[in-house]
A and B are shown apart, each in its own frame.
Chain A
Amino acid sequence: LAKTTQPISMDSYEGQEVNITCSHNNIATNDYITWYQQFPSQGPRFIIQGYKTKVTNEVASLFIPADRKSSTLSLPRVSLSDTAVYYCLVGDPTSGTYKYIFGTGTRLKVLA
């Protein structure tokens, strides 16, 4: 399973765009990149998943360069409610033996 490296913590101000980068140098050909958000005392919540280039949904964008050795989660115009831990996960969800391996994530604090 590909190991991921993320910053331990980040601070931002309301209304700013936040970019969280995840490094996954040994990503495999069939691996996807998935990001989850977790608030205290709640389970993680799926944000976005992608394989290459750019994926966008109503809450975030995911940028994946051609070599796929890193990815960047972009949160536009964050608010105080975006304060949470963000996890980057890498793996092949079609393998039949896929399981999420969580790291310690990135603690994002949004300031007023």
Chain B
Amino acid sequence: DAGVTQSPTHLIKTRGQQVTLRCSPKSGHDTVSWYQQALGQGPQFIFQYYEEEERQRGNFPDRFSGHQFPNYSSELNVNALLLGDSALYLCASSSDWGRYGYTFGSGTRLTVV
């Protein structure tokens, strides 16, 4: 049973560009959450998707947007990249409101130069 799959694993972008990160949730999970983790820090909540809608959002600018597809997979889009967007982006999936915990992917390492 595959866990959470994220792609790509690594990415290098230039300031001002746009990027799309992808996530396939664990089988049986219907909720996807995205986190940004800077080096040496804990993951910071970006937003959460359920039934193809953004259910809640953390303190991130509108440059960060997302989407959830009917098969529960999700995308994170970041526009007008800044150097400070360099981080590990983590996707987590869950079911039943996350009462049994979240399953995280290994993340996408984004470097903005």
Contact = CB atoms under 8 A, between A and B. Distances in A.
Interface in A58-112: 85, 87, 93-105
Contacts of B98: 93, 98, 100
A43 B42 contact: no
Given A41-B88, A42-B106, A43-B92, A100 B97 contact: no
A100 B102 contact: yes
Interface residues of B, number: 28
B109 A93 contact: no
B107 interface: yes
Contact of B48 (A32, A99, A104): A99
The CB with the most chain A CB atoms within 10 A, among B48, B88, B104, is that of B104
Contacts of B105: 43
B93 to A, nearest CB: 11
A100 B98 CA distance: 9
Given A46-B102, A99-B56, A101-B45, A41 B109 contact: yes
Contacts of B35: 102
B97 to A, nearest CB: 6
A96 B56 CA distance: 10
A43 B45 contact: no
18 contacts: A41-B107, A43-B105, A44-B90, A44-B102, A46-B103, A93-B97, A93-B98, A95-B97, A97-B55, A97-B56, A98-B97, A98-B98, A99-B48, A100-B98, A101-B45, A102-B43, A102-B44, A104-B42
Interface of A: 32, 34, 41-46, 49, 85, 87, 93-105
